[in-house]
Structure 1
Amino acid sequence: MNLPRQAPEELREFYITPVYLQILRDRVSEWTAEFIQNQLQLFRGTIPDYPEVLEILEGELYRRQLNQFHRQARRLTREQLLAVQKKYAHEQYADFREIARTELEIRAGVNRLKDDSGTHATVAD
């Protein structure tokens, strides 16, 4: 299926609106991974000028991968979690490494988890 070639501004004005993006965000969590993959393939070929659409779909798949890994991490032994941290040492896997580290810290009984984000939350007056 090919959309008629329109100027990107026209698509953004009439189709890829903030409302459309919000509806997509709301619905994507209900779709199967296979359906999301199919949508990604379709949109990469038909609307490559709209990365925000692709980001929503890719973000949902990534969120699911992280959640699945988090569930698996709870069942791993300490040694397995340490091995996972080494396996995911590359910066590309920072989120997976953080899940493993957090699970290890929780099991160690730390009072406060480390915050590597460099930001500090403050309480507003």
Structure 2
Amino acid sequence: MSIRLYLAPLLLLAAAPVQAASPRPAPDQTESLQLACDAINVAGQLDHAILKDLEPAHSLDAAAVVLERHKVKFNRTHNVMMLSNAPSAMVREIFRLPQGEPIVLPNGEDTTICVPRPSADSI
């Protein structure tokens, strides 16, 4: 799956918290998701030009190169990201991504680029 296809709905989320991205779905259409991930944290939101340049970045290292090219300061960490009230369709898409594919997520007023780590029970 191309990150371009996957990120299209997430580009809208980068400017606002998940709950504000669309009208609130019915309770049975949302999930809470916890992702253990290797991450890049950026203070503030990324503009659309940077998000567009991130589309072909299919690894955390490639995303770091894009941010460096745009002179965006960031730090690399190991995080646990919580997506509360995430639309079920988004959660399904995240689990369908190829191993190592970065996900751009809002993190309060900041931005996190997350690559989910395999869990202990991954095959």
**Fold conserved (TM > 0.5)?**
no
Larger helix fraction of residues: 1
TM range (shorter): under 0.3
Larger strand fraction of residues: 2
When normalised by structure 2's length, the TM-score is: 0.24
* Higher normalized contact order (CA 8 Å, seq sep 6+, divided by chain length): 2
